[in-house]
Structure 1
Amino acid sequence: MNVGLGLPISDPLSLLSWARRADAGPFTTLGLLDRLVYANPEPLVTLAAIAGATSRIRVQTEVLLGPLRQSALLAKQTATLDRVSGGRFTLGVGIGTRQDDYLAAGADVRRRGRRLDRQLTTLRRVWSGEPYSEEVGPIGPAPVQDGGPEILIGAFAPAALERVARWGDGYLCAAPVALADRLMRDVERFWTEAGRDGRPRMVAQVNVALGPESTVQDAKETITSYYGFLGDTTRVVENMLTTPERIRDAITAFTDLGADEVILYCWARDADQIDRLADVAV
């Protein structure tokens, strides 16, 4: 099983150190989430720096909120990141739910799904080298990966899951094992109905904190702050895995469901989690 790490957001200065340590370990991917109205580092800028500090490991957005961004610029930024990383970039993309992000970006939260559909069409066209429009020529640079960076779509609603079959290469499932089975099977059904060959790549994401009580507490405080808009964050905190046994069980369960990779998303700043999680992952 391929196992990646989600990078903590509360200490941006530590992320290059995290990346170098992970690059020397067994992990396959480094992921980074996206918000606008929050104190997290901007993911495309940060992953570009991380790509320069590493040589092997892939970099991935989990997930980038596409509708907050202008499409032509997003196409150029992602193609550039794919090129400077040597083809190690995966675009995990979704729509998000926080209205304040959309207000800050001047985007319509009610039309975010339709906007993402148009964006994904634009990205594929720009990455292929076609003109941006009848009035505008091609936008470079050309990405390294044939056809452009891999696209994983994060979603829960049926209409959004269907988007994987129409525009994506795979599905990013940030749901507990108990819910993931139905979501993954729905994605596979939409994929078949759309006449796509093969099967979608399945990537699962689970929140973790592994270490002494101070590490676990740091993770709980950070994830509570991040998901504070929900009001009651009890379920989010309780679903975070904090023992080697629970993390191993989750990796095994997602593997049994057909996941190709599991991202262990870290919320605590304790970088020694990298070594602890490496011992769990191998």
Structure 2
Amino acid sequence: MPVGLGLPVDDPAGLLTWARLADDSPFSTLGILDRLVYDNPDPLVALSALAGATSRIRVQTEVLLAPHYNTAILAKQTATLDRMSGGRFTLGVGIGGREDDCRVAGIDIRRRGRRLDEQMEQLRWAWAGRPYAEGVGAVGPLPATPGGPEVLFGGFAPAALERVARWGDGFLGAALPPAYMDRMFRDVETAWEKYGREGRPKLVAQASVALGAPSVVADARANLLRYYEFTGRAAYMAEGLLTTPEAIRAAVAGCAGIGADEVILYCWAADPDQVTRLAEVVFA
């Protein structure tokens, strides 16, 4: 089963080192989160740099908060990244839940789900090379991947799971234990069948990890607490941080056991030596 890495965001310049190390290892994907009112790099700009610094590994938003974006510009940006990376781009997408992000983006937080549904129709239209609207031409370039880059939806609500079947190629699960993620995977498969989709959805799980000296683990916990503070569940998320080889191997095996097609090990501390440590744990 492929295993990817979610990248820490507190040292954007250091991400090139992470990318080159991961590209020389068996890891499958590099993922990066999206927020507006937060000290993180823009995910599409960052992934463009990482795609240029690598030749093999895929790059992925995890997840891009699409309702914050102008749809035509997002169509152009994502198609460009897919084209210039040779089809190595996956668009992980979601609606977000932060009032401050929505306020800065100028959108109504109550309409973000409906806005995403409208955006997906427009994105699929643009990626196919069709005129974007009546009286105007297509928004190019065409992506390298026919029909547009791979799209994975993240989220917890039933509407998010149905979007997988309506618009997507698969589901990107949050950092939940396999027992909880199993139910969500099955709900995604049920929605897929409901909408008459052929084949099966791609199912991607995620686990939060930190592997190294106590300072590395402490940095990861602090970053987790800060990122999830608004949810009221920050302590719970930090408690789920996996910090030993045994726990990380068990999580990967557990995700494989529930039918995951890929696992993303999300790293919350900036130490790039974790790439080598994690590779030794997962691929030995």
TM-score for both structures, normalised by structure 2: 0.98
Task: Name the structure 2 match of 1:24.
Answer: 24
Q: Which residue of structure 1 lines up, in the alignment, with residue 273 of structure 2?
A: 272
Identity value in percent = 63
Which residue matches 2:54? 54
> 2:230 is matched with which residue?
229
Cα distance in 1 for partners of 2:232, 2:262 equals 31
2:215 aligned with 1:214, yes or no?
Answer: yes
Which deviates more from structure 2 when the two are superposed, residues 231-240 or residues 48-57? Answer: 231-240
Q: Distance in 1 between matches of 2:3 and 2:130?
A: 35
Q: Which residue number corresponds to residue 186 of structure 1?
A: 187
CA distance in 2 between counterparts of 1:124 and 1:280 reads: 39
In 1, distance between residues paired with 2:159 and 2:116? Answer: 12
Query: In the TM superposition, what whole-angstrom CA distance separates every residue of 1:119-146 from its partner, at most 9, and x where no partner exists?
Result: 1111110000000011221010010011
What are the residue-to-residue correspondences of 1:1-282 with 2, within 5 Å? 1-174=1-174, 175-282=176-283
The amino acid across from 2:279 in the alignment is A
State the secondary structure of the residue aligned to 1:262.
Answer: strand
Q: Shift in Å at residue 167 of structure 1?
A: 0.3
Q: 1:232 to 1:195 in 2, by over 3 A?
A: closer
Q: How many residues get paired?
A: 282
Instruction: Please give the secondary structure, in 1, of the residue aligned with 2:269.
Output: coil
Whole-Å separation in 1 of the counterparts to 2:75 and 2:38: 24
| C-alpha deviation, 1:160, in angstroms | 1.4
Structure 1 regions of 5+ residues with no counterpart? none
Per the TM alignment, residue 231 of structure 1 is displaced from its structure 2 partner at its CA by 3.7
Residue 232 of structure 1: CA displacement? 4.7
Unaligned runs of 5+ residues in structure 2 are none
Distance 1:255 1:232, change over 3 A: closer
Q: What TM-score, normalized by structure 1, do the two folds share?
A: 0.99
> Which digits, 9 at most, give the CA deviation of each residue in 1:171-212, with x for residues without a partner?
001132121011000000000010000100011111100111
Q: CA RMSD in A?
A: 0.8
Matched AA of 2:22: A
What stretches of structure 1 move > 3 A for 4+ residues in a row? none
SS at match of 1:87: coil
